[in-house]
Structure 1
Amino acid sequence: MLPTTAAALGILAALLAWPVPALLARSRWPGRDPLVALLCWQAVGLAGGLSIIGALLVHGLAPWGHSLPEAVWSVLAGRSAGDPVRGDHWVTLTLAAVLASELVGVLLLSWVRITRTRRRHRALLELVVQPAPQPDARLLEHPAPVAFCIPGARPLLVLSSGMVAELDEAQLAAVVAHERAHLGEHHHLLLLPFVAWKTALPVLPAAERAYGSVRELVEMRADDVALTSLEGPTPRRTLAEAIVAAAGGAGSGGVPTGALAVAGAGVRARVVRLLEPADPLPPAARWSALGAAVLLLLLPTALLLLPAL
């Protein structure tokens, strides 16, 4: 039973390593519902990691039992293998351990590094920023139009003096609402697994593609949340103008590493999306995408556990 399970998990891992991320990245529907698309990307990443590690583990433990739980229990109990243990079994077990350690280790290391960088930037900024007219925001003397937030236990939302001078009151409110959306929904946590994926598997094209797509979707989601709190006759145009203004200052070096900025990614696509909004994703399509994400997470889990029943 285990060889069949290992083959099925291997096929699933291969699909999630390239074709599925490529298809999702090229699809147009994610821009119509960034939140659902972000959940789908999380499912792809988690299911992909579980599939490839599971395939290696299942093949390596095949001599010890007819299912993964049985094989794991046999190993933990110190029982001898029922079938001959070949060299390929030891190789796949070693690869499973190495890959699992690398993915978890890189995830933790990325979190520590980013957290440390953000803490350092926050400490430096707190020495020079002043209270801004906008609630919960801080003013930084900088000629370029820059706005960003530094997430964490003590989040910091910063507007440059250039941004305050260039934008009107409604546009500034749009920028602040966008950055508050990043902080309120903890978008930095949605990005972290894909930072780790890209770092751990730099040769995998899907890793870079996934990170870029998730970055853009996070910004689109923050735009959508910001629009719900904006007043005025043309909130979409107001936010689009603010994004364009911030994009002009994004290349000035005013945004620190680890921060989430209003002009962070996909500026052109986001402006077009705001000015020429597409129809929302129909409820049937939305629930279908969510159902597919759930099934994607359940499939490798079922392949690993069902043979034991």
Structure 2
Amino acid sequence: MCFSDVIGNNVPVKRINLSHITGCPEVLDVLRLDLVDPLISGNKWFKLKYFLTEARSRKIKTLLSFGGSWSNHLHAMAAAGCRLGFQTVGIVRGEKPAKPSAMLQDAERWGMRLVYVSRADYRQRYETEYQHKLLEQLSISLDQVVIVPEGGSGEQGVRGCEDILGAGGIQASEYDEIWLPCGTGATMAGIVRSVGNTTYVRGFPVLKGAGFLKNDVQQYLSPAATRWSLELDHHCGGYGKVTPELIRFILEFERETGVPLDPVYTGKLVFALKQIAESGGLSGMNRLLLIHTGGLQGRRGFREWAT
């Protein structure tokens, strides 16, 4: 089943000139996945589409997944379910807040059933016994639900991310390197698989102490895929953490380029570009592609963009 009639495949590429950053490549392009769709945004659509295809082909009407109170993944899944006629269930980490986040309010408005679980229970989310117990409590039959891993990872999510560069009409060989932010590593794995060894791919984890992601990415790759690496020192304190320097940089970047950034993922990627470029780390690089993975709805969780 193809959902191209719902989500377009023409992802724009924007060439930017960062006059306030020295040492940048001559050609600096941004693949604007944030413009894929107003609601089913960024890399989340690519991660979801083969789960949706599976559900449609098996005549399953319910999708269940996991995330936090500002999860881009749950937000996109709720929007996709509403638009495409699927029931959705979101297992949310932690107690129900007195005032739900804007993301949770959106998801509930789009019909997602929100289930709050303790952090201890949430850590069991990938255990089969826990999943069966959870489904029993929710009165959902195992054969009538597609369980999507947190963040839309897993083989189907990675497979979907293999389609990202093609959706932008990108020929990977035209670039010296491709850079992207990393959460679960699924998007990174999909991009590496799609380019083979034609172009070097560099991932920037947004989690502190994310060395474990190397194995998470490697499990989806062949041993022949060697032209990739993870840069572990550009997380700005950890997942969801920001610094005053990061916020100032994002605001300056937006004023100069007109491209909005989220402070959790792509903002940290471009801030890393500034740091590496100004230290001379891009000497000899002529053409660089950055992947904007979306997630702009999460800006509402930061006071600088709260409305």
The TM-score, its normalising length taken from structure 1, stands at 0.27
Q: Which has the larger radius of gyration?
A: 1
The TM-score, its normalising length taken from structure 2, stands at 0.27
**Greater fraction strand:** 2
